[in-house]
Structure 1
Amino acid sequence: MILKHLRVVEVGGGIAASYAGKLLADAGADVIKIEPPGGEPLRRWSASGAELGDRDGPLFQFLNTSKRSVIGDPSDPAMADLLASADILIDSTDQGLPPATIDAARQANPSLVLVSTSPWGRTGPYAHRPATEFTLQAECGGIGKRGNPERPPVHAGGVIGEWTAAIYAGVGALAAARAAGRSGRGDHVDVSVFETMVMTMNTYAWINGEFLGDTNPVRPGRNVELPSIEPTADGHVGFCTVARQQFLDFLLMIGRPDWLEDEEMCGYGGRWKRRDEFRAAMHAWTTQRTTAEVIAEASARRIPVAPIGNGATVPTLEAFSGRDVFTENPSGGFTQPAVPYQLHGADPRPFEPVPEAGQHTGQIEAHVPQPNRGEPAALPLAGVRVIDFTAWWAGPIASHSLALLGADVVKVESIQRADGMRFASARPPSVDHWWDWGMVFHGANTNKRDVTLDLRSPEGVAVAERLIADADVVIENFTPRVMEGFGLTWERLSELNPRLIMTRMPAFGLDGAWRNNTGFAQTMEQLTGMAAITGYPDEDPQIPRGPCDPLAGMHAVFATLTALEERDQTGKGRLVEVTMVAAALNAAAEQLVEYSAFGRQLPREGNRGPRAAPQGVYSAAGFERWVAVAVADDHQWEALCGLLERPDWSDYDSVDKRRAAADAIDEVLGEWIAPQADADAVAQLNASGIPASVVVLGAEIGNHPQLRTRSFIEPIDHPVCGEVPAASLPFRFESSPGPWTTAPAPTLGQHNREVLGGELGLTDEELADLEAKGVIGTRPAGL
Structure 2
Amino acid sequence: MQTADLVVESFGPGGLERSGLDFETLRARRPEVSLLSISPWGLEGPWAERPSTEFTLQAELGGPAYRGLPERGPVAAAGRVGEWAAGAFAAVAALAAWRGARTSGRGDHVDLSIFESMITCMTTYHDLFGQWFGVPLAQALELPSIEPAKDGWVGLCTYTGQQWKDLCALMGRPDVGDDARYLDGSARMREIETIQPIIHAWTRAHTIDEIVELANLMRIPVAPIGDGRNVLDFDHFRAREVFVDHPDGFKAPRIPYRVQGMATAPFRPAPRLGADTQAVEAELPTAHDATRAATPPTSIAAPFEGVRIVDLTAFWAGPVATFALASLGADVVKVESIQRPDGMRFSGALPGPTLWEWSPVFHGANAGKRGITLNLDAEEGKALLRRLLEDADVVIENFSVRVMENFGLGWDVLHAINPRLISVRMPAWGLDGPWRDRTGFAPNVEQASGLAWITGYADMPLILRGVCDPVGGMHTVFTLGLALEERERTGQGMLVEVPLVEPALNMAAEQVIEWTAYGVQLGRTVNRGPSASPQGIFKARPAKAETRYLLEDLSVAVATDAQWQALARVMGRDDWARDPGLAHEAGRRAREDEIEAAIAGWVAGRDCVEVVDALLAAGVPAASLVNGHMIHPNAQLTARGFFRELEHAVAGNARYPMLPFRFASRPAAWNAFAPPALGQHNDEVLGGELGLSEAERAGLREKKVIGEAPAFSIG
TM-score by length of 2: 0.94
Aligned twin of 1:454: 375
Q: Which runs of structure 2 are paired with 1:118-133 in the superposition (5 Å)?
A: 118-133=39-54
Match of 1:726 among 653, 656, 681: 656
Amino acid paired to 1:782: F
Whole-angstrom distance in 1 between the partners of 2:440 and 2:565: 47
Aligned twin of 1:408: 331
Aligned twin of 1:379: 302
Aligned twin of 1:602: 522
Contact 1:306 1:523 in 2 (8 A): yes
Match of 1:687 among 611, 617, 624: 617
Q: Which runs of structure 2 are paired with 1:220-239 in the superposition (5 Å)?
A: 221-239=138-156
C-alpha spacing 1:247/1:108, structure 2 compared with 1 (3 Å) = same
Give 3-state SS (helix, strand or coil) of 2:120's partner: helix
Aligned twin of 2:311: 388
- Residue 158 (str. 1) matches residue 76 (str. 2): no
Q: Which runs of structure 2 are paired with 1:635-674 in the superposition (5 Å)?
A: 635-649=562-576, 650-651=579-580, 652-674=582-604
Contact 1:325 1:338 in 2 (8 A): yes
Aligned twin of 2:240: 323
Match of 1:760 among 667, 687, 690: 690
Amino acid paired to 1:701: I
1:373, distance to aligned residue in structure 2 (A): 11
Match of 1:502 among 408, 413, 423: 423
Contact 1:122 1:190 in 2 (8 A): yes
Match of 1:98 among 12, 17, 22: 17
- Residue 334 (str. 1) matches residue 257 (str. 2): no
Q: Which runs of structure 2 are paired with 1:14-33 in the superposition (5 Å)?
A: none
Aligned twin of 2:6: 88
Aligned twin of 2:501: 581
1:376, distance to aligned residue in structure 2 (A): 5.0
Aligned twin of 2:554: 627
Whole-angstrom distance in 2 between the partners of 1:477 and 1:626: 39
Give 3-state SS (helix, strand or coil) of 1:84's partner: coil
Match of 2:356 among 415, 432, 435: 435
Match of 1:191 among 100, 104, 112: 112
Aligned twin of 2:408: 487
C-alpha spacing 1:140/1:724, structure 2 compared with 1 (3 Å) = same
Whole-angstrom distance in 1 between the partners of 2:655 and 2:128: 6
Whole-angstrom distance in 1 between the partners of 2:368 and 2:29: 36
Whole-angstrom distance in 1 between the partners of 2:3 and 2:603: 50
Whole-angstrom distance in 1 between the partners of 2:374 and 2:104: 38
Whole-angstrom distance in 2 between the partners of 1:597 and 1:372: 52
Aligned twin of 1:68: none
Amino acid paired to 1:665: I
Match of 2:320 among 397, 400, 403: 397
The CA deviation string for residues 452-511 of structure 1, in whole angstroms up to 9 with x for no partner, is 011111111110011011011110001110011111112111222121111110111111
Stretch of structure 1 that moved more, 364-373 or 155-164: 364-373
The CA deviation string for residues 677-697 of structure 1, in whole angstroms up to 9 with x for no partner, is 221111000000000000011
In the alignment of these two chains, the number of paired residues is 693
Whole-angstrom distance in 2 between the partners of 1:238 and 1:357: 43
Whole-angstrom distance in 1 between the partners of 2:237 and 2:585: 36
Aligned twin of 1:782: 712
The CA deviation string for residues 607-659 of structure 1, in whole angstroms up to 9 with x for no partner, is 11121111000001037720000000111111111111222223202222111
Whole-angstrom distance in 2 between the partners of 1:338 and 1:405: 28
Whole-angstrom distance in 1 between the partners of 2:56 and 2:236: 34
1:766, distance to aligned residue in structure 2 (A): 1.7
1:223, distance to aligned residue in structure 2 (A): 0.8
Q: Which runs of structure 2 are paired with 1:518-529 in the superposition (5 Å)?
A: 518-529=439-450
Amino acid paired to 1:105: L
Whole-angstrom distance in 2 between the partners of 1:513 and 1:403: 34
Query: Percent sequence identity over matched residues?
Result: 48
The CA deviation string for residues 218-259 of structure 1, in whole angstroms up to 9 with x for no partner, is 7xx311111000001110100111122111111111121112
Stretch of structure 1 that moved more, 96-105 or 240-249: 96-105
Contact 1:231 1:540 in 2 (8 A): no
Q: Which residues of structure 1 form unaligned runs of 5+?
A: 1-82
Stretch of structure 1 that moved more, 375-384 or 415-424: 375-384
Amino acid paired to 1:781: A
Aligned twin of 2:547: none
Contact 2:232 2:243 in 1 (8 A): yes
The CA deviation string for residues 527-558 of structure 1, in whole angstroms up to 9 with x for no partner, is 11111111111x31001111000011000000
Aligned twin of 1:343: 259
Contact 1:749 1:777 in 2 (8 A): yes
Contact 1:180 1:372 in 2 (8 A): no
Aligned twin of 2:546: none
Amino acid paired to 1:98: E
Amino acid paired to 1:254: M
Contact 2:371 2:679 in 1 (8 A): yes
Contact 2:327 2:669 in 1 (8 A): no
Contact 1:182 1:372 in 2 (8 A): no
Q: Which residues of structure 2 form unaligned runs of 5+?
A: 543-549
The CA deviation string for residues 126-145 of structure 1, in whole angstroms up to 9 with x for no partner, is 11000001000101111111
- Residue 296 (str. 1) matches residue 216 (str. 2): no
C-alpha spacing 1:461/1:737, structure 2 compared with 1 (3 Å) = same
1:356, distance to aligned residue in structure 2 (A): 2.1
Stretch of structure 1 that moved more, 703-712 or 225-234: 703-712
1:355, distance to aligned residue in structure 2 (A): 2.8
C-alpha spacing 1:375/1:320, structure 2 compared with 1 (3 Å) = farther
Aligned twin of 1:29: none
The CA deviation string for residues 406-450 of structure 1, in whole angstroms up to 9 with x for no partner, is 10000000000000010114322xx22111000100000011000
Amino acid paired to 1:731: F
Match of 1:474 among 389, 395, 401: 395
- Residue 562 (str. 1) matches residue 477 (str. 2): no
Give 3-state SS (helix, strand or coil) of 1:349's partner: coil
Amino acid paired to 1:317: F
C-alpha spacing 1:768/1:626, structure 2 compared with 1 (3 Å) = same
Contact 2:429 2:436 in 1 (8 A): yes
Amino acid paired to 1:690: V
Q: Which runs of structure 2 are paired with 1:541-556 in the superposition (5 Å)?
A: 541-556=461-476
The CA deviation string for residues 250-297 of structure 1, in whole angstroms up to 9 with x for no partner, is 111112111233222222232112101111111111101111111111
1:94, distance to aligned residue in structure 2 (A): 4.1
Whole-angstrom distance in 1 between the partners of 2:241 and 2:398: 20
Contact 1:422 1:436 in 2 (8 A): yes
Aligned twin of 1:66: none
Contact 2:421 2:492 in 1 (8 A): yes
Amino acid paired to 2:93: G
The CA deviation string for residues 18-56 of structure 1, in whole angstroms up to 9 with x for no partner, is xxxxxxxxxxxxxxxxxxxxxxxxxxxxxxxxxxxxxxx
Whole-angstrom distance in 1 between the partners of 2:632 and 2:385: 38
Q: Which runs of structure 2 are paired with 1:57-76 in the superposition (5 Å)?
A: none
Amino acid paired to 1:631: V
Aligned twin of 1:257: 174
Whole-angstrom distance in 1 between the partners of 2:461 and 2:50: 32
Contact 2:551 2:626 in 1 (8 A): no
Contact 1:425 1:434 in 2 (8 A): no
- The list of structure 1 runs, each at least 4 consecutive aligned residues, that deviate by more than 6 angstroms after superposition, is 367-375
Give 3-state SS (helix, strand or coil) of 2:528's partner: coil
Give 3-state SS (helix, strand or coil) of 1:717's partner: strand
Aligned twin of 2:630: 700
Amino acid paired to 2:79: G
